[in-house]
Amino acid sequence: MANLKEQTSIPKNKIARAANIVGTGAAIGANYVKYKAKEAFGSKGEKEAFHEDTAERTFNTFSKLKGGPLKVAQMLSLDKNLLPPAYQEQFSKAQYSAPPLSYPLVVKTFKQELQKSPKDIFDDFTQTAVAGASIGQVHKAHKGGQNFAVKVQYPGVADSLESDLKIVRPFAIRLMNLDGASIDLYLNEVRERLTEETDYILELSRGQELIDKSSHLKNVNFPEYFPEYSTKRILTMEWIDGVHLDEYFKGDHPKAERDQVAQALWDFCHFQVHSLKEFHADPHPGNFLVKDGQLFVLDFGCVKKLPEWFYDAYFSLMSPMALNDPELFESLLEKLGLILETDGDYERKKLIPVFKESVELLSRPFFKEEFDFADEAYLDEIYQFGERTGNDQELKKMTSSRGTAHALYLNRTYFGLYNLCGSLKAKVKTNMPDFI
């Protein structure tokens, strides 16, 4: 974070925020005209260069605005099949390395929320943020022998949410070549989750509740929260001296330790999804630390509850009975809104095999006592499936407005979990939910 230039302000009113996005769009539009002209004369590499420039400009604008636009970037970066690599690379920065706000703005938030400056509360408080993402940034503090991680929300994030998403929608459709139905699924998810994530009191209470219910899990640990130093826009928790998962991936760690970390990830996700029907739904590496072979879960801002009807239908799809019974499988797809009453024979023949292949891919680890995520062929198969179906324009039109947001959260969490286990090159003990 220290290498990133600090921001001294965030555009707050609708006109200023819209002007930033429109201005970026105009610059990118001019570049697009140049790119198409060069492409017409057979210039090589122009497409990649255009995407790289567009991705960097877009991320820089979203980073400046924080909130909704930056959250959109963060979420889009998790879907490997939705955007070109240049966007994935840039947007992944939104997870926890966005440019920080300057210290005076942090002090202002403290005085508004706690009527004191950080130095009035803590013995030491880093003036420069140690991490920053879409909603807020983290500072390290110290008091009375205790180290704290203090998350400070960016000003105006909650107030500008609705107008931000309205502005971002046409921008994403035109400049990122996304269809309206696809981007709406993401924007609706951002709207719902971001509304919750901007309430740190909700995150604190929900985090404490889920931590209490998950405290028995082996090798899974959580930081302590400090309500006395927390408000709706400031959240204070125990500082953990660990290594973020993406940095841990790069290290030379014993196979047994990597397996242990992956098993802790699996058990944490599996228990919350199948026992609590409420789970941590933000599986990017920045939300997890490793310390002495132990997993630490840091952030409960994004939590998803699953309705019983959806949970039963979704996981029933994975049962051998459903996979081997075409009528039962189709009826479950209908219940989940993936097959519609208006679909004719052509649509059903096109869609059902694709959905079945998707279910078989997702559920494959469940059908073995142990699954080796070090086998790159499995994750490659997932990526190839996504690329193949994503490039089928007819299929994209058919599937863009089907299903529910519940599946988006769950799919993202499981495929995120698989990616993390794959990056750890780990073998994990897996199993299906008991009722299946």
pLDDT value for 98? 56
The ranges assigned to domains in the chain are 14-95+163-185, 102-153+199-239, 242-436
The pTM of this model reads 0.78
Give the span between the Cα atoms of 307 and 405, in whole angstroms. 12
Strand pairing class (234-238; 303-305)? unpaired
Give the pLDDT of the chain (436 residues) as one tens digit per residue: 444 455 555 555 555 555 555 555 445 444 444 444 444 445 555 566 666 766 676 666 666 666 566 666 666 655 555 555 655 666 555 555 555 778 998 999 999 999 999 999 999 999 998 887 667 889 999 999 999 999 998 877 766 677 767 777 776 666 555 566 666 766 776 677 778 888 999 999 999 999 999 999 999 999 999 999 999 999 999 999 999 998 999 999 999 999 999 999 999 999 999 999 999 988 888 889 999 999 999 888 888 899 999 999 999 998 889 999 999 999 999 999 999 999 999 999 999 999 999 999 988 998 888 999 998 899 888 888 877 887 787 887 777 667 877 887 788 888 889 989 999 999 999 976 665 5
CB 40 within 8 A of CB 7: no
What topology does CATH give the domain 102-153+199-239? Phosphorylase Kinase; domain 1 (3.30.200)
With a CB cutoff of 8 Å and minimum separation 6, the contacts of 183 are 169, 172, 173
Give the span between the Cα atoms of 27 and 35, in whole angstroms. 12
Pick from 367, 368, 362: which is nearest to 412 by CA? Answer: 362
pLDDT value for 41? 44
**If residue 136 lies in a helix (H) or strand (E), which one and from where to where?**
strand 136-143
- Enumerate long-range contacts of 360-367, CB under 8 Å, 24 or more apart: 360/323, 361/385, 362/318, 362/411, 362/414, 362/415, 363/318, 363/432, 365/418, 365/428, 365/430, 366/318, 366/430, 366/431, 366/432, 367/432
Pick from 289, 266, 287, 270: which is nearest to 279 by CA? Answer: 270
Beta bridge partners of 234: 152
CB 383 within 8 A of CB 81: yes
Burial 129-153 (b: 16+ CB within 10 A, else e): bbbbbbbbbbbbbeeeeeebbbbbb
